[in-house]
């Protein structure tokens, strides 16, 4: 794995994040892997783009999908 973007955080940081969020290390790893899958347009990026969200099947088929993504991007982007 090395120090590439695909490597999970060091154990001390994983422990800190888990203690602050209530996630287990297994849940944190699963979230990280899912994030990497969604950020396929730019894997070295630390955030998801509007287009990344719109490519999620559940969002793409939702009649309000674009509006929901616009709200997320406006509030957090």
pLDDT in tens, 15-69: 999 999 999 999 999 998 898 888 877 777 788 888 999 999 999 999 999 999 9
Q: Is the pTM of this model over 0.75?
A: no
Contact 50, 77 (CB under 8 A): yes
Q: What is the pLDDT of residue 7?
A: 62
Domain boundaries, the chain: 10-39, 44-77
Which ranges of the chain does DSSP label H, i.e. alpha helix? Answer: 11-21, 25-38, 50-54, 57-60, 65-76
- Which of 35, 30, 29 is closest to 11 using CA atoms? 29
Residue 22, helix vs strand vs coil: coil
2-14: average pLDDT: 69
């Amino acid at each position: 794995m090395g120090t590439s973007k695909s490597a999970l955080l060091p154990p001390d940081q994983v422990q800190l994040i888990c203690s602050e969020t209530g996630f287990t290390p297994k849940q944190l790893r699963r979230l990280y892997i899912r994030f990497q899958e969604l950020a396929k347009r730019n894997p070295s990026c630390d955030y998801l783009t509007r287009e990344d969200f719109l490519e999620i099947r559940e969002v793409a088929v939702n009649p309000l999908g674009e509006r929901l993504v616009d709200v997320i991007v406006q509030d957090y982007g």
